[in-house]
Chains A and B, each alone.
Chain A
Amino acid sequence: MQFFGGSEISPSPPVPTASGNNAHMIYVFNRNGVCLLYREWNRPLHTLNAQQDHKLMFGLLFSLKSLTAKMDPTNLDKGNLGVPQLPGQGCSFHSFRTNTYKLSFMETPSGIKIILVTHPRTGDLRDSLKYIYNLYVEYVAKNPLYTPGTPIRCDLFDTTLDQYVRSIA
C-alpha cells in the first residue's frame, strides 16, 4: 500500500476522464465509520433510509478490505480473515465495478475514507480522489470552526466539490 509522498498541497486538478455529468454520489467516512459527508447528484433508486445506507456502505468497504487483505496473492503471511488492520496496512482495493455503477475508494493515512460512485465506464479515478482529499484538507481540516468527527457543514467545500465532480464525471 502506497501513500502519496508528494509535498504539493494543492496540485492542479487531474485531467477529466470523460465529459458530461455521470457522478452518482460521494461518501466521506472517518475512521470510526461516522459519515462526515454524503452528497448525491443523480440517484434514482433508494433502497434504504439514509442512515442504513451509510452503515451498509461502510460495512461493505470494511468487509471488502478484509477480503482483499486475506486474498492478497503476493503476500506470504496475511493473518486470519477479519483481523483488524490499520489504514495502509495489508492489501486494499481502489475500485470495483458492477453493471450499473463504478465505486472508487481511497483511504488516507488518518483513516478518512472517500468513496465516489460514478458511471460504470468511468476511467481510473485515483488521482481525482486524491484531489478531493486535498479539497477536504484545504476547506475542512483547515477550517477553525470545524470539529473533527462531526458531519461536514462547509459551503465553500460543498460548492468546490460540486464544481470539481461535475468536471470529472
Chain B
Amino acid sequence: MAAIYSLYIINKSGGLIFYKDYGSSGRMDTNDSLRVASLWHSMHAISQQLSPTTGCQGIELLEADTFDLHCFQSLTGTKFFVVSEPGTQHMDNLLKVIYELYTDYVLKNPFYEMEMPIRCDLFDINLTQAIQKDRVALLGR
C-alpha cells in the first residue's frame, strides 16, 4: 500500500504545472487534475477570508475520510500538495524537500519558463527518490 497517492504543484494563478500519481485507484485524466488543482487554489483562498483571526495563510491539512491532503505554499505563491493515507506523518518535511528540489532542478534550469508545466528529467528522478517510503520515514528523525 502506497503511503503517498499523488503530488500536485500549482502556480500562483492556480494552473497545474506538475501532477504525478503514485497509485491511487481510478486515475484522474488531465482535465480532471487541472480542475481539481484550480478548485484547490480557490478553496485555499476562500479559507483565508473565513479566518476568525488575522494572518491566515490558507489550508495546511485537509483530513478526508479516506485520505489526508497536506499543502505547502511557498513565499511566491506556488502551492505544493500531496495526497497521502490518513495519518501519514512527516508530510510537512517532505513538502519542504520537494520545494527544495523544485528550486534546484526547476527554477535553476535555464530552459524552464516560469509558471509553465514542469518538464525536467532531473527533477523527476530526484522526486522519485524523495518520495520513496523509507526516505519519508527517515525525514522524521
Contact = CB atoms under 8 A, between A and B. Distances in A.
Co-complex (A, B): yes
Nearest to B39: A67
Interface stretch (B42-50, B98-106, B124-132): B42-50
B110 interface: no
A71 B35 CA distance: 11
A166 B49 CA distance: 25
B53 A101 contact: yes
Interface residues of B, number: 37
Interface residues of A, number: 44
B51 A45 contact: yes
A146 B7 CA distance: 48
Contacts of A76: 25-26
A91 B46 contact: no
Contact of A75 (B26, B47, B51): B26
Interface of A: 1, 24-25, 40, 42-45, 47-48, 53, 56-57, 59-60, 63-64, 66-68, 70-78, 80-81, 91-101, 103, 117
Interface of B: 5-6, 24-26, 28, 32, 35-36, 39-40, 42-43, 46-67, 69, 83
Given A43-B52, A64-B62, 13 more contacts: A1-B65, A42-B52, A59-B46, A63-B43, A72-B26, A72-B64, A73-B5, A76-B26, A77-B26, A81-B32, A98-B58, A99-B56, A99-B60
